Structure 1
Amino acid sequence: MRLRPWSRILLSLASGLAMAGGVLANEFEPAELPATVVLEGEPASGSDLPVEVVPLGADDEFQRLSGDYPGIADCSAVCNDCPTWTVRTGIVFLRRDNQDSLVLTNGATPITVDRLGFRDYEAGPLVTAILHGVLDTAWDLDVTYFGVSDFQNTAGSAGATAFFSNPTINFGGLAVASEYRSRINSTELNLRRDWSPCFTALAGFRWVEISDVLSSDIGGGANHSVNVDNHLYGFQFGGQALLLHRGQFSIDAVVKAGVYRNQADQSTNTTGIGGALPAFSVRDGNAAFIGELGVTGAYSINDRWTIRGGYQAIWVDGIALAPDQIDDSDLVTGAATLDTSGHPIYHGFTLAAELGW
Structure 2
Amino acid sequence: MSRTICVSVAVVMLAAVSQVNAQGTYPQAASGAYNPAPNNVDWQSYVAPRATPYQGGYRVASGTPTPVPQGYTPAANPNTASYLQAPAGYHGGVPSSGGCESYSSYEPCCPAPSCDPCPTPCTRCWYASLGALFLTREPQDNYTFSYDSANEDDQYVDAANADMDFAPGVEATVGWYDCCTNVGFELTYWQLFPGDESTQMLGADLAPGFLDGIRNYDQLDYNGGTADANVNAAQIHRLTRGWEVYNVEANRVIVFRQNGCASPWQFQSLAGFRYFKFKETLGFVSDPTETIIDGDLDEYRINIDTDNQLFGFQLGGISERAIGQRWTIRLIGKAGLYNNHITMNYFEGGAAGAAVINNGPNAGQAMIVNASTNDLAFLGEFGAGVTCRVGNCWRLGADYRMIGVTGIALPTDQIYFDTRGINDVRIIDNDASLLLHGAFVRVERSF
- Check if 1:305 corresponds to 2:394: yes
Select 2:233's aligned residue among 173, 182, 192: 173
Aligned-pair distance for 1:261? 0.3
Distance 1:328 1:334, change over 3 A: same
The CA distance in 1 between the partners of 2:136 and 2:240, in whole Å, is: 17
Work out whether residues 212 and 228 of structure 1, in 8 Å CA contact, stay in contact via their aligned partners in 2.
yes
Work out whether residues 75 and 244 of structure 1, in 8 Å CA contact, stay in contact via their aligned partners in 2.
no
> What letter matches 1:218 in structure 2?
S
1:81 corresponding residue in structure 2: 109
Aligned-pair distance for 1:196? 2.5
Distance 1:330 1:85, change over 3 A: farther
Query: How is 1:1-357 mapped onto 2 (pairs within 5 angstroms)?
Result: 77=103, 81-82=109-110, 84-107=125-148, 110-118=156-164, 120-133=165-178, 137-159=181-203, 160-164=211-215, 170=228, 171-174=231-234, 175-197=236-258, 198-219=266-287, 220=293, 221-272=299-350, 274-275=355-356, 277=366, 279-327=368-416, 333=422, 335=424, 336-357=426-447
Work out whether residues 139 and 163 of structure 2, in 8 Å CA contact, stay in contact via their aligned partners in 1.
no
**Which of the pair has more CA radius of gyration?**
2
1:34 corresponding residue in structure 2: none
The CA distance in 1 between the partners of 2:135 and 2:272, in whole Å, is: 23
Q: Deviations over 1:273-292 (max 9, x none)?
A: 64252522111111001000
Moved more, 92-101 or 275-284: 275-284
SS where residue 87 of structure 1 aligns? strand
User: Cα RMSD between the aligned structures?
Assistant: 2.8
**Number of matched pairs:** 287
Work out whether residues 74 and 245 of structure 1, in 8 Å CA contact, stay in contact via their aligned partners in 2.
no
Work out whether residues 336 and 380 of structure 2, in 8 Å CA contact, stay in contact via their aligned partners in 1.
yes
Moved more, 305-314 or 333-342: 333-342
Work out whether residues 275 and 332 of structure 1, in 8 Å CA contact, stay in contact via their aligned partners in 2.
no
The CA distance in 2 between the partners of 1:145 and 1:73, in whole Å, is: 33
> What letter matches 1:122 in structure 2?
A
SS where residue 432 of structure 2 aligns? coil
Distance 1:72 1:96, change over 3 A: farther
The CA distance in 1 between the partners of 2:181 and 2:400, in whole Å, is: 31
The CA distance in 2 between the partners of 1:196 and 1:315, in whole Å, is: 30
Distance 1:90 1:329, change over 3 A: farther
The CA distance in 2 between the partners of 1:180 and 1:133, in whole Å, is: 46
> What letter matches 1:110 in structure 2?
Y
Identity %: 21
Work out whether residues 123 and 148 of structure 1, in 8 Å CA contact, stay in contact via their aligned partners in 2.
yes
Aligned-pair distance for 1:123? 0.5
The CA distance in 2 between the partners of 1:71 and 1:100, in whole Å, is: 51
2:261 corresponding residue in structure 1: none
Q: Gaps spanning 5+ residues in structure 1: where?
A: 1-62, 64-69
Moved more, 160-169 or 96-105: 160-169
Aligned-pair distance for 1:299? 1.0
> What letter matches 2:428 in structure 1?
L
Work out whether residues 144 and 155 of structure 2, in 8 Å CA contact, stay in contact via their aligned partners in 1.
no
Q: Gaps spanning 5+ residues in structure 2: where?
A: 1-88, 90-95, 111-123, 149-153, 204-210, 221-226, 259-265, 288-292, 294-298, 358-365
Q: Which TM-score applies when normalising by structure 1?
A: 0.73
The CA distance in 2 between the partners of 1:177 and 1:94, in whole Å, is: 25
Q: Which TM-score applies when normalising by structure 2?
A: 0.59
